[in-house]
Amino acid sequence: MTAVVVFYHLTRSGLDETVVTILNRALGQGWPIMIRSPNKGLLNHLDAKLWAEPEDSFLPHGVEGGPSDADQPVLLGSGTITNRARGVLLLGGATVDPAELSGLDRVWLLFDSADEVAVQAARGQWTRMTGWGLAAQYWSDETGPWVKKMEKPATAG
C-alpha cells in the first residue's frame, strides 16, 4: 500500500474552502479524485458549490450514477471508485476499504472540531489505517495556517 492518509482537523477553515483547495492541488497533479460521503445532502451541497465557483476556477466534476462516471476528474458519491481516482476525500464518516488502496496515492479525511462524534471517528480511522501500515499525517489549522502536527511513517503491516 503506497497511499498516504492526510487527516485535516477543521478548526478555523470551512469545509467548502478546504475541499476546493485539496481538489485544485490534486487536479493540478493530474489526479482524478473521488469525494465520498454517506451524506447525500452534503454531496448535493458540494455539487452546487463546485458549479457556483467563478468560471476561471471551475472544478469539473460529476455526481455518482451518471453515464460519464468513469470520465469524471472529480466524482461525488458514496459507492465504489469508478473514475480511476488516485485520491479519495472522505467526509461525514465515509471510510475506505484496504482493497481500494492499491491504486491510490492519497486519502484525505476531513473532520470538524465542533463535532465530537466526527473527532472520535477520525481517531478510530487513524488507528485503523495506520494499523494497515499506511503513512499518515495529522494537520490542524487551530493556530491560523495549516500546520502538520503529527506524522507516522508507513510500516510493513
pLDDT value at residue 2: 81
Q: Is the pLDDT of residue 38 over 80?
A: yes
pLDDT for residue 51: 84
Q: How confident is the model at residue 40 (pLDDT cuts 50, 70, 90)?
A: very high
Note whether residue 81 is domain-resident.
Answer: yes
Place of cell 465515509: 94
Confidence of residue 111 (pLDDT cuts 50, 70, 90): very high
Which residues, in sequence order, are bridge partners of residue 9? 111, 140
| Residue range 38-43: mean pLDDT, rounded | 96
- Report pLDDT digits (tens) over 4-28: 999 999 999 999 999 999 999 999 9
Confidence of residue 52 (pLDDT cuts 50, 70, 90): confident
Distance (Å, rounded) from C-alpha 91 to C-alpha 148?
20
Total domains in the chain come to 1
Contacts of 71 (CB under 8 A, 6+ apart): 83
**Cβ pair 7, 139 in contact under 8 A:** yes
Range of the structural domain that residue 60 is part of: 4-152
Whole-number Å distance between alpha carbons of 95 and 78 = 9
Question: What is the mean predicted confidence (pLDDT) over 127-134?
Answer: 95
- Is residue 157 in some structural domain? no
Tell me the pLDDT of the chain averaged across its residues. 93
The CATH number that applies at residue 33 is 3.40.50.10110
Q: What is the pLDDT of residue 107?
A: 98
If one counts every other C-beta atom within 10 angstroms of the C-beta of residue 122, the result is 21
Residue 53 has pLDDT above 70, yes or no: no
Say if 147 falls within a structural domain.
yes
Q: What are the distances in angstroms from CA 40 to CA 11, 31, 100? A: 23, 24, 22
Give the pLDDT band of residue 58 (cuts 50, 70, 90).
Answer: confident
Whether residue 121 is predicted with pLDDT greater than 70 in this model: the reply is yes
**Residue 151 and residue 5 in contact, taking contact as beta carbons nearer than 8 Å:** no
The Cα 115–Cα 117 span in angstroms is 5
Burial, 37: exposed, middle or buried (Cβ in 10 Å; 0-12, 13-18, 19+)? buried
Asked whether the predicted pLDDT for residue 55 surpasses 90, the reply is: no
Q: Which residues contact 57 (CB under 8 A, 6 or more apart)?
A: 20, 24
Q: Reply yes or no on whether the pLDDT at 157 is more than 90.
A: no
